[in-house]
Structure 1
């Protein structure tokens, strides 16, 4: 059940304590892909998992702005501080829990959100009347995960499968020419770069041409299966906190 499409009476009749909360970002993805890529992909994975899961699960509206200041030099990118993002996620989960949806999987589509989500789901589970974990779809697609990049093969593949009309195919050569091979500038296992503009001319990392529609379909299938498995584990988990020793 999608909260945004349901009436409150429909939700009142919903017999589940499970919820999915998609989170993404509004940020540059090169000259060929839309600013809303991360929100679109996170939402699609959440929707697919909710449909595939055997039991009822609530899908909350996506949070579309995340921790993305690393892309600030590229026009249209929006961001909030990690503190604001954590507070927003936490209070959204609290409101879900208020209505009985107190087992929440946050479905993430943006790498910049990962650290903040790990921290806030821990805080929620330790201190609030809810249990939450974070799932990042591109970390759960097997061997494909090593090709993630940014606006690169994985995200372009997902877009070509989910929303091909949003991919500017005539700009792929431009995207490839200005792309970086990897994320950052590394010395002694330290990334010297804080912003993507420091190492990528147009914000792209990786070769988007390697992300075709068939790969996108496979990525969605793999991410969906991983999320369904996680939902089942969250549904069955004893979420009582251990006593102090």
Structure 2
């Protein structure tokens, strides 16, 4: 059930304790993909997973700004500090739990959020009246996960399947030509860079031309199946020993 579409009385009558919270980022994704890529993909995977899941789930509105200062040199990028992001996620989940939705899966679409989400969901589970689990869609797509970049083949593919009108096809070659092959500059297992502009001219990592709509369909299938399994596990889990 979509929280934003429902009335408060419908929510009050909803017999479930399970919710999902999509989170993403508003940041550059090269010259070909929209700034909202991470929010859009998180929402697409969330909605596809909920369509598969045989049960009632409260679908909270997405959090659109995340930990993304590494992209600050590219116009339009927004970011908050990790502390602010963790606090916002924690308090959002606390408000869901207040109404009885105390099992929450956080569906994430942005790599910069991963560390903060792992920390805050553990804190929530240990110290709050809720159980929270983070799920990052591009970690759950099998062998495709090894090709995750930034505005690269996976994100471009999922966009071309779910939101084809938002991909600037006439800029794909430009995006490919200016892309980095990997994230950062590594020496002795240490990354010498802090911001993405240091290693990618146009903000892209990976080859976006390798991401077509057919591949996007396969990615959505894999990610939504993984999310369905996770929702089932969270719904069935004994959380009496948590916290």
TM-score band w.r.t. shorter chain: over 0.9
1:27-65, CA deviations, whole angstroms, 9 ceiling, x for partnerless residues? Answer: 000000000000000011111111110110010000000
Contact 1:158 1:215 (C-alpha < 8 Å) held by counterparts? yes
Determine the structure 2 residue equivalent to 1:85: 85
Determine the structure 1 residue equivalent to 2:224: 224
1:20-39 alignment, distance < 5 Å = 20-39=20-39
| TM-score, structure 2 as length reference | 0.99
Determine the structure 1 residue equivalent to 2:96: 96
Matched residues in 2 for 1:17 and 1:188: separation? 47
1:74-110, CA deviations, whole angstroms, 9 ceiling, x for partnerless residues? Answer: 0000000000000000000000000000000000000
Aligned length: 243
Determine the structure 2 residue equivalent to 1:121: 121
Contact 2:106 2:134 (C-alpha < 8 Å) held by counterparts? yes
Structure 2 regions of 5+ residues with no counterpart?
none
Matched residues in 1 for 2:217 and 2:91: separation? 34
Matched residues in 2 for 1:242 and 1:32: separation? 44
Root mean square deviation, CA, Å: 0.9
User: 2:192 aligned with 1:192, yes or no?
Assistant: yes
Contact 1:176 1:208 (C-alpha < 8 Å) held by counterparts? yes
1:169-226, CA deviations, whole angstroms, 9 ceiling, x for partnerless residues? Answer: 0001110111000000001111111110000000000000000000000000000000
Determine the structure 1 residue equivalent to 2:206: 206
Determine the structure 2 residue equivalent to 1:153: 153
Q: Which aligned runs of 4 or more in structure 1 are off by greater than 2 angstroms?
A: 240-243
Pair 13,114 (structure 1): closer, same or farther in 2 beyond 3 Å: same
Matched residues in 2 for 1:169 and 1:242: separation? 48
Contact 1:105 1:133 (C-alpha < 8 Å) held by counterparts? yes
Deviates more, 1:1-10 or 1:121-130: 1-10
CA drift at 1:13: 1.3
SS in 2 for 1:5: coil
Contact 1:65 1:78 (C-alpha < 8 Å) held by counterparts? yes
Matched residues in 2 for 1:215 and 1:172: separation? 16
Matched residues in 2 for 1:74 and 1:35: separation? 10
Contact 2:45 2:137 (C-alpha < 8 Å) held by counterparts? yes
Pair 192,216 (structure 1): closer, same or farther in 2 beyond 3 Å: same
SS in 1 for 2:122: helix
Pair 103,198 (structure 1): closer, same or farther in 2 beyond 3 Å: same
| TM-score, structure 1 as length reference | 0.98
Structure 1 regions of 5+ residues with no counterpart?
none
SS in 1 for 2:4: helix
SS in 2 for 1:89: helix
1:14-53 alignment, distance < 5 Å = 14-53=14-53
